[in-house]
Amino acid sequence: MKDVEDLLSNRLLMVARLVKPCESIYDIGTDHCYLPIYMIQKGIIKRAVATDVKKGPVQIALRNINIFGLDTYIDVFVSDGISHVGQDSNIIISGMGADVIIEILTEGIHYAKNANQIIIQCQSKTERLRSFLWDNGFYIEEEALCKEKDKVYNAFRVSYCGVKQIYTEIETIASKKLVKMHHPLLTDYISCHIRKLEDIISGYKASNVVFSKEEELKRALEEINENN
Ligand SMILES: C[S@@+](CC[C@H](N)C(=O)[O-])C[C@H]1O[C@@H](n2cnc3c(N)ncnc32)[C@H](O)[C@@H]1O
C-alpha cells in the first residue's frame, strides 16, 4: 500500500498527533481526505467518515481513498457540518477559519457537546474561537503549534465539560497552556499577533483614535515573549 505520509503537511501531522486513538473518526471538511487515510495507515483509527459540504472535494476524497486502497474503511459523502455524527463521536474540523468553525459547532451544538473529542485546527481569528469554546463550556485539553513556510499554525483537542471558563483577552491569544509549555514556537506565534496590533495602532494613530486597549495587549504579549 502507498504511504500517504509524504503528502501530509506539518499542519496535518500536528492535527493527527492530537487525536486520541479511537475506533472511528468523523473528518468534517475533508477535502483530499489525507488525514483519515494517514490515521488509518498509522493505526490511530480503524475507520472514518469523511464529509465535505462541496461535491468537488468529495470526488477528490473518493479518488484518493481508492488510490490508497481504503474504500472499505472510509465512508465519504456530501454533508454540511456535524449533524450526521452519532453519540460519543470523535470529530476533526481542520483547515477552516474561526467563523465557519463556530457556525458548524453552533448549528450542531448537541453533537459537539456529546463528542468524545473534537480536534480543531483553525486558520484565522483563533482568539474568537477560543472565546466561543470557553463561553460555551468546552475545555481545551491539549494544544499544539507547528510551523510551515514561515507561518505558525495552531490546533487543539477539545471536549465539553459544561463549565464556562473564566479567561482574559490575552489568554485567547497566548493560552495558559501554551505559556506554561514554553512552546518553542510561541514567540513566533505571538510576534505575528504583535505585528497585527501594530498595524491597528498605526491606523488609529493616523486617525487620532484612542488605542490604549491595543497598546496594553501589545505590551502584555511582549512580556510573555520576553519570558518564553
Ligand atoms: C481548506 S479545506 C481543509 C481541508 C482539510 N480538512 C485540511 O485541514 O487540510 C476546507 C474544506 O472545508 C469544507 N467546508 C467548509 N464549510 C463546511 C461545512 N459547513 N461542512 C463541511 N465542510 C465544509 C470546504 O468545502 C473545504 O473542502
Q: What confidence tens digit (pLDDT) does each residue in 141-154 have? A: 999 999 999 899 99
Q: What percent of the chain has pLDDT over 70?
A: 99
**Percentage helix, strand, coil for the chain under 3-state DSSP, each rounded to 5:** 45, 25, 30
Best residue among 74, 96, 100 to mutate for probing ligand 1, ranked by most atoms within 8 Å of CB? 96
Q: Which three cell numbers stand for residue 144?
A: 499544539
Would the CB of 28 count as within 6 Å of ligand 1? yes
74 CA distance to ligand 1 middle (Å): 17
Q: Mean pLDDT over residues 15-20, rounded?
A: 98
pLDDT of residue 108: 96
Confidence of residue 1 (pLDDT cuts 50, 70, 90): low
213 falls in which pLDDT band (50, 70, 90)? Answer: confident
Distance 216 CA to ligand 1 centre (A): 35
Please state the pTM of the whole predicted model.
Answer: 0.95
Residue with C-alpha cell 473529542?
A: 117
Q: How far apart are the first and last CA of the chain?
A: 43
Evaluate if residue 7 carries a pLDDT over 90: no
Task: Give dist(CA 142, CA 21) in Å, integer.
Answer: 14
Query: How does the average pLDDT of the chain come out, rounded?
Result: 94
Q: What is the pLDDT of residue 21?
A: 96
pLDDT at 210: 73
Under a CB-based contact definition with an 8 Å cutoff, are residues 37 and 68 in contact? yes
Confidence of residue 3 (pLDDT cuts 50, 70, 90): confident
- Give the mean pLDDT of 79-99: 95
pLDDT at 4: 83
Give me the pLDDT at residue 144, please. 96
Q: For residue 203, is pLDDT > 90? A: no
pLDDT at 48: 98
pLDDT of residue 202: 85
52 ligand 1 Cβ < 6 A = yes
